[in-house]
């Protein structure tokens, strides 16, 4: 990084998330540096690598501030133009700028000014992409640790708790328990020692909100945790983070070291009487450790198997002491609530769900990436307005929220508002924020099977319903997708699913049947089609497919050559035929045919 004596004229932010990294953001950086030096701008421009900005489909991303111009799909050849036109002449390059700036309408601009409300509103992710995540100074310049200072000087622990309670903030990790109540419960316990934990064991397939938050703005999590520690009377905090996130771990470690160096962690924080420090604890690849008691066991060095509650972690948590556990996004909200007040926070969102929620939008949708929206935004707004709708002119079929614990909602639920109650009423859940859009080419039985495979693989094996029950459900689904479903399978799925969700020990087991139960509720006909007619309407269940060659065949013979089992025959320039008995439905002919003459059904 270039050393700077004066304030930079421009801040150029390069997204360094995995997707952009793949698109050679590092090369870009080198080219930019070179161009800056050439033009003598190196000393007056700050070049920053940020965490994932959440616009993966337009990568690589370069942002120039002030002005907040976003460039997408930037190639090294574009750099001279950007530097020359924008940084020298002050004229953004319209050709490369991403016009649909709705992705980045944030609540907080650089100095916390109230910008206009767009479809998105960034509270948890407010600094992501704005600041250099490895710079404490950057964070401080964005009102970082101001909330902590306020708490330590002006507020009693009880006042902090009351503010958080008043804000109506609910746990962003999935269950949506009232955060303030959790704090109050933990604060009320008498104990020689208490602990604070940040749950960063983000495990839902397709979700990367926590990772982006920590990679993009690690200090906000640290600040939130210190405030939490102050409120409940804890002096030690732990961040339990997936070992699979090396960059996030590195940045967090750096942020903790820096905070410690500056007296923001350690003894007598900001010259107050309060002491607090944070340790990082690594996970090791177990989804179930997102469950509070399993997470605690994991920190204690045990198998991550949940235990019955009560006692709750707020009563008996880590090493038997009262422990406050919140997830990354929840912690990231705390400094904002403290600084701007619960009254303001409660103006955002719905009656029972306040504030915003970050989603990882993925699947068959135009714009994929992280979006943060006020609670109460409809699914349609997220998928169509922010996400840009379904690509390739395909039809929307379902949206899956809540990851493997959630459910799939069909088109008629698109106007459902995203808040804890509405999603639950529709048969899904908020979860930690995965949002997968599926088009008509996705088979709902197959997708239910996919999620169940996941939970089954991640089941800790402790309680019978989850360990044995999900296995049996999976076997039934495997049968159905293979065309071996029998009458009564649906009833068995429902019977097992209901029992598992009511009798399992922990949240993982209790929610494991959700993807099946919700698809059964909304897409029952698709199941029946598989079972009764041995047909997969979406055309994805390999064993239920059949390929036929239509009149469009010109007899080029490519399919015959591609067929791995020699099931295709035909004379050159004559229409070819597939021997259905020999065909293994691999689909290679279908993919190979240049004339769209092979039909899948």
Partner 1 sequence: MAVAGDQNIQTLQEYMRGLKSTGAPCSHLIAILHKTQELYGYLPREAMDEIALTMDIPRAHIWGVATFYHYFNLTRPGRHSIALCMGTACFVKGAADILEAIKNKLNIDFGETTGDGLFTLQQARCLGACGLAPVMMINDKIYGSLTPEKAVAILDDYASREKKGVLHTGNV
Partner 2 sequence: MKQMITIYVNDKAYQVESGQTIMQATDGIGFRIPRLCYHPKLSIEGACRVCIVEVEGARNYIASCSYPVNDGMRIYTNTVPLRRARRDIVELILDNHPDDCHTCERDGICELQRLAYSMGIRRRHFEGEKKNYEKDLSSISVIRDPNKCILCGRCVRLCSEVQHVNALGYANRGFQTVVMSAYDRPFSESVCTNCGQCINVCPTAAFVEKNYTQELFDKLNDSSVIKIAQVAPSVRAAIGEAFGIPPGQAFEREVAAALKKLGFTYVFDTQFGADLTIMEEASEFLERIQGNGVLPMVTSCSSAWMKYVEQFYPDLLPNVSTCKSPMSMLSAMAKTYFAEKIKIDPAKICVAAIMCCTAKKYEAARPELMVNGLPATDIVVTTREIAWMIRSAGIDFLHIEGEDFDAPLGLSSGAGAIFGVTGGVMEAAIRTAYELYTGETLIDIEVNAIRGFQGIKEGKVLMDGKEIRVAVVHGLGHVYQILDMVRNEPGRFHFIEIMGCPGGCIGGGGQPYAGSNSVPLDEEVLQKRAQALYGLDRERTFRRSHENPHVQKLYKEFLGRPLSSLSHKLLHTHYTPKEPRGIITREQTA
Among 313, 387, 434, 507, binds partner 1 (CB under 8 A): 434
Q: What is the largest CA-CA distance in the chain?
A: 89
Of 101-109, 252-260, 261-269, 431-439, the segment contacting partner 1 by CB under 8 A is: 431-439
- Asked if 21 interacts with partner 1 (CB under 8 A), we say yes
User: Do 472 and 426 meet the contact criterion of CB atoms below 8 Å apart?
Assistant: no
- Asked if 364 interacts with partner 1 (CB under 8 A), we say yes
Q: Smallest Cα–Cα separation from 255: which of 21, 43, 51, 22?
A: 51
Question: Among partner 2, partner 1, none, what does residue 496 contact (CB within 5–8 Å per kind)?
Answer: partner 2
- Asked if 19 interacts with partner 2 (CB under 8 A), we say no
DSSP state of 233: T
Among 441, 461, 552, 572, binds partner 2 (CB under 8 A): 461
Residue 198-237 contact track with partner 1, rule CB under 8 A, x = bound:
-----xxxxxx--x--------------------------
For partner 2, the closer CB: 355 or 515: 515
| In the complex, least distance from residue 499 CB atom to partner 1, rounded to whole angstroms | 25
Integer Cα distance of 531 and 536 in angstroms = 9
User: Do 277 and 261 meet the contact criterion of CB atoms below 8 Å apart?
Assistant: no
User: Do 323 and 194 meet the contact criterion of CB atoms below 8 Å apart?
Assistant: yes
**Phi–psi pair at 8, nearest 5 degrees:** -70, 150
- Asked if 128 interacts with partner 1 (CB under 8 A), we say no
Question: Among partner 1, partner 2, none, what does residue 475 contact (CB within 5–8 Å per kind)?
Answer: partner 2
Size, binding site for partner 2 by CB under 8 A: 33
Among 335, 469, 513, 515, binds partner 2 (CB under 8 A): 469
User: Do 88 and 80 meet the contact criterion of CB atoms below 8 Å apart?
Assistant: no
Q: Which 55-84 residues touch partner 1, going by CB under 8 A?
A: 56-57, 59
Q: How many residues does the chain have?
A: 601
- Asked if 49 interacts with partner 1 (CB under 8 A), we say no
- Asked if 193 interacts with partner 2 (CB under 8 A), we say no
- Asked if 524 interacts with partner 1 (CB under 8 A), we say no
Among 132, 458, 526, 529, binds partner 2 (CB under 8 A): 458
- Asked if 302 interacts with partner 1 (CB under 8 A), we say yes
- Asked if 330 interacts with partner 1 (CB under 8 A), we say no
Among 30, 137, 156, 319, binds partner 1 (CB under 8 A): 319
Question: Among partner 1, partner 2, none, what does residue 72 contact (CB within 5–8 Å per kind)?
Answer: none
Integer Cα distance of 227 and 145 in angstroms = 10
Rounded to 10°, the helix 209-216/328-345 angle is: 80
| In the complex, least distance from residue 596 CB atom to partner 1, rounded to whole angstroms | 18
Question: Among partner 1, partner 2, none, what does residue 510 contact (CB within 5–8 Å per kind)?
Answer: partner 2
- Asked if 285 interacts with partner 2 (CB under 8 A), we say no
| In the complex, least distance from residue 302 CB atom to partner 2, rounded to whole angstroms | 8
Can you say how many angstroms the Cα of residue 252 is from the centroid of all Cα atoms in its chain? 18
Structure tokens at 484: 């071996």
List of residues 6+ apart from 338 with CB closer than 8 A: 147, 150, 151, 155, 160, 163, 227
Strands 396-401 and 547-549: unpaired
Per DSSP, helices labelled H in 100-217 are: 136-141, 146-154, 157-167, 179-188, 209-216
User: Do 56 and 369 meet the contact criterion of CB atoms below 8 Å apart?
Assistant: yes
Integer Cα distance of 513 and 491 in angstroms = 13
Q: Smallest Cα–Cα separation from 207: which of 54, 62, 73, 83?
A: 54
For partner 2, the closer CB: 486 or 584: 486
Integer Cα distance of 74 and 72 in angstroms = 5
| In the complex, least distance from residue 240 CB atom to partner 2, rounded to whole angstroms | 18
Q: Which H helix or E strand runs over 70? A: strand 69-71
| In the complex, least distance from residue 471 CB atom to partner 2, rounded to whole angstroms | 5
Strands 577-578 and 568-569: antiparallel
- Asked if 505 interacts with partner 2 (CB under 8 A), we say yes
Question: Among partner 1, partner 2, none, what does residue 208 contact (CB within 5–8 Å per kind)?
Answer: partner 1
Residue 250-289 contact track with partner 1, rule CB under 8 A, x = bound:
-------------------------------xxxxxxx--
Q: Which 551-580 residues touch partner 2, going by CB under 8 A?
A: none
Structure tokens at 75: 């190639």
- DSSP of 210-222: HHHHHHH-HHHHH
Q: Which H helix or E strand runs over 353? A: none
Integer Cα distance of 540 and 368 in angstroms = 23
Binding residues for partner 2 (CB under 8 A): 286, 302-303, 305, 307-308, 310, 456-465, 467-469, 471-472, 475, 492, 495-496, 499, 501-505, 510
Binding residues for partner 1 (CB under 8 A): 17-19, 21-22, 52, 56-57, 59, 203-208, 211, 243-245, 281-287, 298-305, 319, 360, 362-364, 368-369, 400, 403, 434, 436, 438, 442, 447, 450-451, 454, 460
């Amino acid at each position: 990084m270039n050393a700077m004596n004066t304030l930079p004229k421009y801040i150029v932010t390069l997204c360094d998330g995995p997707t952009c990294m793949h698109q050679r953001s590092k090369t870009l950086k080198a080219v930019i540096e070179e161009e800056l030096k050439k033009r003598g701008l190196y000393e007056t421009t700050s070049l920053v690598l940020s965490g994932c900005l959440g616009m993966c489909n337009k990568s690589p991303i370069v942002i120039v501030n002030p002005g907040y111009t976003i460039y997408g799909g930037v190639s090294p050849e574009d750099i001279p133009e950007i530097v020359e036109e924008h940084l020298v002449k002050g004229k953004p390059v319209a050709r490369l700028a991403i016009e649909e700036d709705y992705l980045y309408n944030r609540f907080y601009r650089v100095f916390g000014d109230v910008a206009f409300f767009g479809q998105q509103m960034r509270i948890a992710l407010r600094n992501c992409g704005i600041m250099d995540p490895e710079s404490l100074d950057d964070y401080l310049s964005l009102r970082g640790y101001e909330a902590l200072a306020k708490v330590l000087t002006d507020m009693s622990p009880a006042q902090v708790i009351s503010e958080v309670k008043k804000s109506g903030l609910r746990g962003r990790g999935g269950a949506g328990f009232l955060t303030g109540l959790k704090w109050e419960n933990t604060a009320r316990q008498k104990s020689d020692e208490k602990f604070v934990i940040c749950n960063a064991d983000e495990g839902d397939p397709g979700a990367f909100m926590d990772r982006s938050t920590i990679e993009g703005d690690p200090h906000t999590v640290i600040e939130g945790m210190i405030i939490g520690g102050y409120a409940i009377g804890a002096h030690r905090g732990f961040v339990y983070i997936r070992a699979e996130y090396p960059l996030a771990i590195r940045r967090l470690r750096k942020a903790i070291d820096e905070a410690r160096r500056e007296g923001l962690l350690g003894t007598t924080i900001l010259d107050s009487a309060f002491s607090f420090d944070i340790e990082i604890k690594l996970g090791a690849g177990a989804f179930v450790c997102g469950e509070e008691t399993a997470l605690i066991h994991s920190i204690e060095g045990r198998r991550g198997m949940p235990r019955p509650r009560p006692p709750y972690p707020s009563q008996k948590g880590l090493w038997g002491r009262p422990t406050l556990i919140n997830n990354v996004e929840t912690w990231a909200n705390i400094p904002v609530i403290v600084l701007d007040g619960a009254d303001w926070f409660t103006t955002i969102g719905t009656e029972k769900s306040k504030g915003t929620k970050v989603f990882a939008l993925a699947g068959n949708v135009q714009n994929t990436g992280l979006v943060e929206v006020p609670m109460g935004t409809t699914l349609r707004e997220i998928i169509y307005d922010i996400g840009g709708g379904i690509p390739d002119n395909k039809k929307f079929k379902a949206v899956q929220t809540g990851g493997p614990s959630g459910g799939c909602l069909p088109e008629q639920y698109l106007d459902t508002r995203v808040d804890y109650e509405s999603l639950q009423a529709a048969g899904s859940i908020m979860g930690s924020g995965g949002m997968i859009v599926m088009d008509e080419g996705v088979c709902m039985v197959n997708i239910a099977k996919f999620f169940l495979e996941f939970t089954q693989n991640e089941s800790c094996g402790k309680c019978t319903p989850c360990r044995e029950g999900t296995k049996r459900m999976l076997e039934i689904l495997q049968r159905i997708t293979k065309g071996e479903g029998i009458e009564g399978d649906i009833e068995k799925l429902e019977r097992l699913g209901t029992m598992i969700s009511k009798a399992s020990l922990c949240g993982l087991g209790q929610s494991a049947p959700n993807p099946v139960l919700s698809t059964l509720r909304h897409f029952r006909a698709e199941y029946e089609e598989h079972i009764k007619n041995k047909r997969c309407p979406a055309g994805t269940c390999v064993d239920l497919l059949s390929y036929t060659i239509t009149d469009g065949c010109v007899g080029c013979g490519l399919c015959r050559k591609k067929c791995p089992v020699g099931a295709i025959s035909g004379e050159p320039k004559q229409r070819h035929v597939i021997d259905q008995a020999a065909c293994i439905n691999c689909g290679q002919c279908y993919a190979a045919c240049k004339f769209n003459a092979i039909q899948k059904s």
